[in-house]
Chain A
Amino acid sequence: MPSTRITEADGSAGHGAAAARPWFRRMRWRGYGPLLGLVLLCVVGTALNPDFATWDNWVNVLARTSFIGIIAIGMCFVIVTGGIDLSVGSMAALIAGGEILLMNSLATSLGSPVAVIALGMVFAIVLGGLFGIAHGLLITRGRIEPFIVTLGTLGIFRALLTWLADGGVITLDGMLSDSYGPVYYATPLGLQVPVWVFAATAFAGAVLLNRTTFGRYVKAIGSNEQVARYAAVDVGQVKLLAYGLLGACVGIATLLYVPRLGSASPTTGLLWELEAIAAVIIGGTSFRGGSGSIAGTVTGAILLSVIGNVLDLTSIISVYLNAAVQGVVIIVVALLQRRRT
């Protein structure tokens, strides 16, 4: 086996030199880097503040991670195709606003709050999926770079929400808010609903990426789009589905987020795109596409919110520097994971 593994190629294997290297040089860090970083951070957090290692704190951190985590799983597919979506934060805001407005208007005519909420949730997923497919069409049929398309919609989505909210806040009706609350706050089997949905999305994502033709095509396109096209892969359709999938993930994250605050405003979902992309990259997915890991993405998302949590609980570094610490982590991870030349 080792004879064909080119990632290990450095000319020294097979001389007995490998045995002379210290164990930490021989271990393959690539796949475990993010997990190791997370464990290390938890050790530091626990040492600095005993409250960190409590069940309550952990449940809290995981629940807050869920939104970014679910979006990051969709983002992972898009990045593996070699694309990007910068609009997810704005998209979440617009979906939240749209969902609340729809539910408020249905509340009077439909009566049953459960039915209204169910409709609102379906609406969120469908709208997200449609937004994603619109991105995909502009990218495949319109032949515009994903960066440019989603830079455009980033502005469009948030401006539309600001216009719908008339610059203020769109608030969910009080009665609906009470019925919708459990979708965020309920804790079946000790964990909040978003955490379960996050776990389910991650599982489905991992199966989709690694065990289906769609997942294989996603990797093949990211690895070399021409080769995939020549091998009769319907490149346009696969990309369309990947962006649609991400849109649906944004819809799911949003329908879980709305009951938390019961409102949408021009600052809803601000900078989510950066956190989602960062989670994917920290998780070891190549920004150039072609390969990616759902487990890594989940780890990356958790790592990012644990950083914030540790800063909250300790006083060594100001909470205001949260984004700076996250930025340092992203760059360090990229340094550690760069390809050997």
Chain B
Amino acid sequence: MSLRVAFDGITKRFGAVPVLNDVSFELAPGRVHALLGENGAGKSTLVKILAGYERASAGTVRIDGGAQAFPTAREAEAQGIVLVHQETNLADALTVTENIFLGHELRRGWWLDERAMRAKARMALDEVGLAVDPDTKLRDLIIAERQLVEIAKALVRRVRLLILDEPTASLTPTECERLFGLVARLRADGVTIIYISHKLDEVERITDEVIVMRDGRFVGRAPTAGLARGRMVEMMIGRELADMFPPKEPEPTSGPPMLEVRGLTVPGWAEQVSFTLHAGEILGFAGLVGAGRTELFEGLIGLRPCSSGTVMIDGRPARLRNPRAALGRGIAYLSEDRKGKALHLHMPMRDNLTLASLDRHARPWLSAASEDRAWQRARELFAIRGGDAGAPAATLSGGNQQKLAIAKYLEPAPRILVLDEPTRGVDVGAKREIYFLIARLAAEGRGLIVVSSELIELIGLCHRVVVMRRGRVMATVAGTRLTEAELLAHALDTHH
């Protein structure tokens, strides 16, 4: 039942832009392969070609020795090749069962066999460890749960080759554990697995072999056992990475706080949250998915109703009814949801950049020249690569999109910047650039708040870290106590 897959000279161009360049390698059947590379290295495009979502411009995919080019994902799925996407691809208005069987409904004569589908869906959900009713509508599930539904869907399709593209980006540690267990079981059943992830600890744990791509080319492969993380990173970025994080400036505690939040309550999400932020400080917010961190800051800038609490900026009380008022007082918030809330992917990069500060380019008519100058400045300052002012933001790689998003929220010159998951779905090289950028912004005297699910990132970057659990602040950790174990203990409430 195992599949032997070979890529033979795969080349793919979008217009004149080559995304894949003569990629050739083989995948041994029944093993777990990590596919590593920076964003824009071509990993996603390659697996999309394999799974029938894209077609190669040149080259062939061989399955068990025979050349195969699946015209659609359906044909690939019929062969047992299933791709679980980076962004889930499910219908919001349908139930979990309906989504799992979409396009492959079980029938009894002319009628849908609802009972059989529900039973099979429940089995698949049990296997991925998702405890929801199969009749739940997709829109009532959070992102992590949707991802597990995608995987359950793959199981129902009798998968022989499973491609997981960033599956753990929004899963909690417990959910990740279950997923890893599932991967091990599937591997034992002879399923070939391609695992794309930026999290190297996961790669180390669950994969047999590492395959590295860079700039649309195959760079190398090595057994995972005995391959140091540093070496993986160096293969991906093609240079030595001395240090991921900038050196920490001393914690600025002198003087009055720039921002002081007291007893802020966002009904249903955050309870009586208090914290302070000084100029030049980088303050982290840790917690599990659903701890209420995102909602707390959405409440702070007036995107959600707050039932109580006071906000003081520079010692003066501030009423922030909406993001405009917040920006007026110098607070900008960059959402974790880059595609849904931070950038207009189909609008030009320049228009994205200037949206939050557009008044500055209107005198009274919008000046294209002035906007272009802002774009040129930002592109250099933030090292946005692959950018063309008039091209849609969607044409940038994930890391460069994120740099554009940060640039957009810095255009109005805020003094306090809240970055929610600033490196989600961003490759190692761009991550490092973003960390140095955050340090630079703090050094310029801004107050920075970083909300992140990656503890390493918070520890490497922040002066102090606030840990939240179920909407409440559990602890504020600083200095030498800033360790993974300490943060996790507070986030899971196992601290004594």
Contact B356 A232 (CB under 8 A): yes
Interface residue count for B (Cβ, 8 Å)? Answer: 43
Interface residue count for A (Cβ, 8 Å)? Answer: 34
Question: Is there a chain B Cβ closer than 8 Å to A223's Cβ?
Answer: yes
Contact A230 B335 (CB under 8 A): yes
Question: Chain B contacts of A215 at CB under 8 A?
Answer: 366
Contact B340 A231 (CB under 8 A): no
Question: Is there a chain B Cβ closer than 8 Å to A5's Cβ?
Answer: yes
Q: Which of A47-55, A135-143, A206-214, A322-330 contacts B (4 or more CB under 8 A)?
A: A206-214
Expressed in whole angstroms, the minimum distance between the Cβ of A213 and any Cβ of chain B is: 5
Contact A231 B13 (CB under 8 A): no
Contact B392 A6 (CB under 8 A): yes
* 0 or 1 for each of A222-234: is its CB under 8 Å from B? (1 = yes): 0110111111111
Contact A13 B346 (CB under 8 A): no
* 0 or 1 for each of A196-219: is its CB under 8 Å from B? (1 = yes): 000000000001001111011101
The majority secondary structure among interface residues of chain A is helix
Contact A2 B346 (CB under 8 A): no
Contact A231 B14 (CB under 8 A): no
Expressed in whole angstroms, the minimum distance between the Cβ of B365 and any Cβ of chain A is: 4
Interface-central residue, B14, B15, B359, B409, by most chain A CB under 10 Å = B15
Question: Chain B contacts of A216 at CB under 8 A?
Answer: 351, 355, 358, 366
Question: Is there a chain A Cβ closer than 8 Å to B343's Cβ?
Answer: yes
* 0 or 1 for each of B1-32: is its CB under 8 Å from A? (1 = yes): 00000000000111111000000000000000
Question: Chain B contacts of A1 at CB under 8 A?
Answer: 388
Question: Chain B contacts of A226 at CB under 8 A?
Answer: 340-341
Question: Is there a chain A Cβ closer than 8 Å to B229's Cβ?
Answer: no
Contact A230 B323 (CB under 8 A): yes
Cα distance A231–B356 in the bound complex, in angstroms:
5
Question: Is there a chain B Cβ closer than 8 Å to A174's Cβ?
Answer: no
Cα distance A234–B359 in the bound complex, in angstroms:
13
Cα distance A2–B342 in the bound complex, in angstroms:
27
Name the residue of chain A whose CB is nearest to the CB of B408. Answer: A231
Which B residues from 337 to 357 make CB contacts under 8 A with A? Answer: 340-347, 351, 355-356
Contact B341 A4 (CB under 8 A): no
Given A229-B323, A230-B335, A233-B355: A6 and B343 interface contact (C-beta under 8 Å): no
Contact B344 A220 (CB under 8 A): yes
Name the residue of chain B whose CB is nearest to the CB of A236. Answer: B322
- Interchain pairs with CB closer than 8 A, number: 101
Contact B15 A3 (CB under 8 A): yes
Question: Chain A contacts of B345 at CB under 8 A?
Answer: 224
Contact B344 A224 (CB under 8 A): yes
Question: Chain A contacts of B409 at CB under 8 A?
Answer: 231
Contact A2 B16 (CB under 8 A): yes
Cα distance A219–B344 in the bound complex, in angstroms:
10
* 0 or 1 for each of A47-81: is its CB under 8 Å from B? (1 = yes): 00000000000000000000000000000000000
Question: Is there a chain B Cβ closer than 8 Å to A11's Cβ?
Answer: yes
Which of A6, A14, A211, A220 touches B395 (beta carbons < 8 Å)? A6
Contact B346 A290 (CB under 8 A): yes
Question: Is there a chain B Cβ closer than 8 Å to A148's Cβ?
Answer: no
Interface-central residue, A215, A228, A231, A234, by most chain B CB under 10 Å = A231
Contact A4 B388 (CB under 8 A): yes
Name the residue of chain A whose CB is nearest to the CB of B54. Answer: A11
Contact B324 A227 (CB under 8 A): no
Question: Is there a chain A Cβ closer than 8 Å to B326's Cβ?
Answer: yes
Contact B355 A231 (CB under 8 A): yes
Which of B341, B351, B358 touches A230 (beta carbons < 8 Å)? B341
Contact A9 B351 (CB under 8 A): no
Which B residues from 373 to 408 make CB contacts under 8 A with A? Answer: 386, 388, 390-392, 394-395, 408
Contact B340 A212 (CB under 8 A): no
Contact A11 B13 (CB under 8 A): yes
Cα distance A212–B361 in the bound complex, in angstroms:
9
Name the residue of chain A whose CB is nearest to the CB of B17. Answer: A3
Question: Chain B contacts of A13 at CB under 8 A?
Answer: 13, 15-16
Question: Is there a chain A Cβ closer than 8 Å to B456's Cβ?
Answer: no
Question: Chain A contacts of B342 at CB under 8 A?
Answer: 227, 230
Name the residue of chain A whose CB is nearest to the CB of B388. Answer: A4
Which B residues from 141 to 179 make CB contacts under 8 A with A? Answer: none
Cα distance A335–B207 in the bound complex, in angstroms:
48
Question: Is there a chain A Cβ closer than 8 Å to B303's Cβ?
Answer: yes
Which of A3, A10, A231 touches B323 (beta carbons < 8 Å)? A231
Contact A6 B394 (CB under 8 A): yes
Cα distance A191–B211 in the bound complex, in angstroms:
72
Given A14-B13, A220-B347, A224-B344: A232 and B388 interface contact (C-beta under 8 Å): no
Contact B322 A211 (CB under 8 A): no
Contact A9 B358 (CB under 8 A): no
Question: Chain A contacts of B57 at CB under 8 A?
Answer: 11
Given A6-B395, A219-B347, A232-B322: A224 and B340 interface contact (C-beta under 8 Å): yes
Question: Is there a chain A Cβ closer than 8 Å to B218's Cβ?
Answer: no
Cα distance A228–B358 in the bound complex, in angstroms:
12
* 0 or 1 for each of B23-57: is its CB under 8 Å from A? (1 = yes): 00000000000000000000000000000000101
Question: Is there a chain A Cβ closer than 8 Å to B333's Cβ?
Answer: yes
Contact A5 B15 (CB under 8 A): yes
Contact B14 A6 (CB under 8 A): yes
Question: Is there a chain B Cβ closer than 8 Å to A8's Cβ?
Answer: yes
Question: Chain B contacts of A6 at CB under 8 A?
Answer: 14-15, 391-392, 394-395
Expressed in whole angstroms, the minimum distance between the Cβ of A220 and any Cβ of chain B is: 6
Which of B17, B344, B359 touches A223 (beta carbons < 8 Å)? B344
Question: Chain B contacts of A212 at CB under 8 A?
Answer: 362, 364-366
* 0 or 1 for each of B49-68: is its CB under 8 Å from A? (1 = yes): 00000010100000000000
Question: Chain A contacts of B358 at CB under 8 A?
Answer: 213, 216-217
Question: Chain A contacts of B412 at CB under 8 A?
Answer: 232
Name the residue of chain A whose CB is nearest to the CB of B359. Answer: A213
Interface-central residue, B333, B355, B365, B386, by most chain A CB under 10 Å = B355
Question: Chain A contacts of B55 at CB under 8 A?
Answer: 11
Which A residues from 139 to 182 make CB contacts under 8 A with B? Answer: none
Contact B15 A10 (CB under 8 A): yes
Cα distance A4–B400 in the bound complex, in angstroms:
15
Question: Chain A contacts of B335 at CB under 8 A?
Answer: 230
Name the residue of chain B whose CB is nearest to the CB of A215. Answer: B366
Which of A10, A11, A210, A227 touches B344 (beta carbons < 8 Å)? A227
Name the residue of chain A whose CB is nearest to the CB of B327. Answer: A232
* 0 or 1 for each of B278-304: is its CB under 8 Å from A? (1 = yes): 000000000000000000000000010
Given contacts A6-B392, A226-B341, could you give 10 more A-B pairs where the C-beta distance is less than 8 Å? Answer: A3-B16, A6-B14, A11-B14, A216-B355, A223-B344, A229-B323, A230-B333, A232-B412, A234-B322, A290-B346
Selected A-B contacts with CB under 8 Å, 5 pairs: A1-B388, A4-B395, A5-B15, A212-B364, A230-B303
Top 9 closest A-B pairs, CB basis? A14-B16, A4-B391, A232-B323, A4-B388, A9-B15, A211-B365, A231-B356, A232-B324, A213-B358
Which B residues lie at the A interface, using CB under 8 A?
12-17, 55, 57, 303, 322-324, 326-327, 333, 335, 340-347, 351, 355-356, 358-359, 362, 364-366, 386, 388, 390-392, 394-395, 408-409, 412
